[in-house]
Structure 1
Amino acid sequence: MTVSHLFMQNYTGPLMIALQYNDLFDLDSISTSTDTDALPNGRAFTFIKAVQTVNERLVEQNKSDCLLFEVILISKECSEEIKMKVDESVKHYGLEIGKFFFCKKEELINTLQSNKVKLFLSTERDDVYEALHTGIPAALLYDQADDHVLNQLKVIFSGDVIGFSEDSLDGLSEFGFSETQIETIKTAKICMKEFAVLIGQMRRRFGQENSPLCTCVLTSWGSRNVCASALKTLREWGLDVDEAFCLAGAPCSPILAVVKPHILWDGGLLNMS
């Protein structure tokens, strides 16, 4: 029995995901809104709705299921007015938020660690990289605004991060990546494993058709062999992905525009955005 399978048997959940307030709502609109207006949706809104759909489907199958998503909201700096408006807007939209945290910017990492966050999502790459370098699983919250994806949570894992060997990753310097970026990618692979294991456990509870959870691998730089290696590694971690894309250097944007992921595990490959 592999380490991944042992971990899956012992884990009882929930799978804690952290978001920032400014990604869930458009906070810039506070100055023009009235006391009774709910804040407009931000990038994370469809993600929250998709997560709630996955949780509802899991509970439908097993009311005692413990492996559910729990979302916490974090604000690095905000006024009392923003706190109140965010709280009112969460209630207005019926969003299931487990906890609210208001902390100073320098307290962000400690807040994530103390809450045992399994995935920190942000539209700010600097925050994602900082979290990764401290060992916290972190990924980009992709710009997802279409209503038709509310019923399915979509996650893309980078095949380059998972499929490349450590020696091959060192070779990314030939493509213009700095040592810091390469180290971030290596760290991302380590952080990615635990989340992939848990997502794999969730994914297997649904059939192939009409699943509320869709996982993909996208290999940007690597060859077919790298993509195959990524698929093999994910399978060893307990995750069989729904779709795989091997681009071999072609632009990623057309695929991302079609797949429309909520979560983009790119590990610092800046050209994927």
Structure 2
Amino acid sequence: MTLHETAWAKINLALHVRARRADGYHDIESLFAFADAGDLLSAGMDERLSLTIAGPFADGLSDGEDNLVIRAAQALRDAAAPGRGARITLDKRLPVAAGIGGGSADAAAALRLLARLWQVEDEPLLMRIAASLGADVPACVRSRTLRGEGRGDRLDLIDDAALVGMPVLLVNPRIPLATGPVFRGWNGEDRGALASGPPLDAALSGRNDLEAPAVALVPEIGGIVSALAAMPGVRLARMSGSGATCFALFDDAEARDRAAASIADRRPGYWQLAAVLR
């Protein structure tokens, strides 16, 4: 028996950085949303744990014990399924170091997938393991519209009726951008809290405090955001996470698809994903 799971692409509709913390993380406030597409994972029972990586963005990725998917699998096995194994395959369809979940989303999907395969029905355990793996992993386990605070792992589900099904276009210049240098480039200025209330309104009135330091490292980001913001039918254009992926929300799929065609014509080497919010 082989089971399948999607590592949904994470989108930070807004990301406010409030303070540096002594533990090396930052206090943030973010609105997480998720596209209805992403990397694909599959797994079947086996005597040991193994990981095979394929797909358009597989090059250079380790399939060893340093991979977050293997670390997630080992943690779940040790906590709730001793002696179990699995053959895991990761079809890597999203760019690496791109601000849309990446390894965090893959680890989260592995936890959901192996919990089904090994019949582990303990969501609090999954969330504890997720928190030990990285700040974004708990949000990616849930993969629903969320408000995150603290490191991003204090999560509240929010009413997402206005967002579910909204067309979204993701664009990446195919330039990997590590999270650490972007956070180190933040100027330390607390520019204020993320608004409460309906998530789309909060996103529209919000910002991404990492966009300026990311643009300083990858200037192409600024051009993508400007190009997306100028498209007809766009509701919101912004960088996601620590970059370099940018996104735009649209009134309808036709406007999104026209924008995708325009970007492809003007920047043919860029990666794109046309999707809707889930």
What is the TM-score when the length of structure 1 is the normalising length? Answer: 0.34
User: In proportion to residue count, which structure has more strand?
Assistant: 2
What is the TM-score when the length of structure 2 is the normalising length? Answer: 0.34
User: In proportion to residue count, which structure has more helix?
Assistant: 1
